[in-house]
Amino acid sequence: MHVSLETPIGARLFTSDGQEYATPVTLRHTSADPEVVRLAFPPHVTLDGRAAVWTVARALLADGLESPARHGNVRVLPHGRDHTVIEFASPDGLAALRFDTEVLRRFVARTRTVGASARASTPEAPVPGPRTEDVVVPLNSRTQQAHLLGLRLREMRQEQGVPLAHAAAAAGLSRLWAAQIESGEILDLDTVSRYASGLGARITLSVEYATERTGVQVARRRTSQCTG
């Protein structure tokens, strides 16, 4: 049985064009998805007149209450002694919400209880057998390695029929992070390698580089340290 939290609060919305609005927001959290917090907005405060939901990693929200923290297009940071700001960047611009810090702090504290209960009731994730894959990436481009590995790991997981939540749990990551790794958004190679290890994958990176004398592309292979 899943446990859900729902807390209506008030916030101040600051838009990229300099406008400021009082905005009702409902904070939501459920043991069905314990690693995230959702911010729900009623239709009358959105640009298109439809209800909207923003998603923030629970750990990011907790960290941002103490010091500036960023993940992807979301940033959370203290604003003075009594407020916390959550910023969302999108192609349409930047939107910032200012909250009472103590309200957020109490909500995050309540989510920890829900998250602990959910983890205790989650069955141990199956670890698939090792696989060997070759990925060709430019020399020294760790960010591109991370991007390509993430895309390939998604294919591997789907081929093996492993649920995303189980793969994330096996790597000790949230489901949100696992999804972002598989979409190529996480460009930290160590984090992607950790996810690969959780999948039981042994990744061989084929690094191509041009020799100084001839300019000929030469393939050089090495096995990464993400062996499961």
DSSP per residue over 141-199, as a string? Answer: -HHHHHHHHHHHHHHHHHHHT--HHHHHHHHT--HHHHHHHHTT----HHHHHHHHHHT
Q: Share the mean pLDDT of the chain.
A: 76
- Which range is least confidently modeled, 109-113, 162-166, 181-185, 214-218? 214-218
CATH superfamily of the domain spanning 4-121: Sporulation-specific cell division protein SsgB (2.30.31.20)
Helix, strand or coil, per DSSP, at residue 118: helix
pLDDT category at 65 given cuts 50, 70, 90 is: very high
- State percent of the chain over pLDDT 70: 75
Task: Measure CA 221 to chain center.
Answer: 30
Q: What is the pLDDT of residue 83?
A: 95
pLDDT at 202 over 90: no
Residue that has been written with the tokens 């009623």 in this structure = 42
Q: Cα(134)–Cα(82) distance, rounded to whole angstroms? A: 51
DSSP helix/strand/coil, 44: helix
In the predicted model, what is the mean pLDDT of residues 115-130?
A: 53
Q: How far apart are CA 103 and CA 198, in angstroms?
A: 36
Map residue 39 onto helix, strand or coil: strand
Parse the chain into domains and list their residue ranges.
4-121, 131-223
pLDDT at 125: 53
Instruction: With cut-offs at 50, 70 and 90, classify the pLDDT of residue 139.
Output: very low
Residue 211 reports pLDDT greater than 90:
no
Fold classification of 131-223 is: 434 Repressor (Amino-terminal Domain) (1.10.260)
Residue 153: what pLDDT? 85
Predicted local confidence at residue 126, as pLDDT? 53
d(CA 181, CA 169): 14
Q: Tell me, what's the pLDDT at 144? A: 74
When pLDDT is cut at 50, 70 and 90, the band that residue 12 belongs to is very high
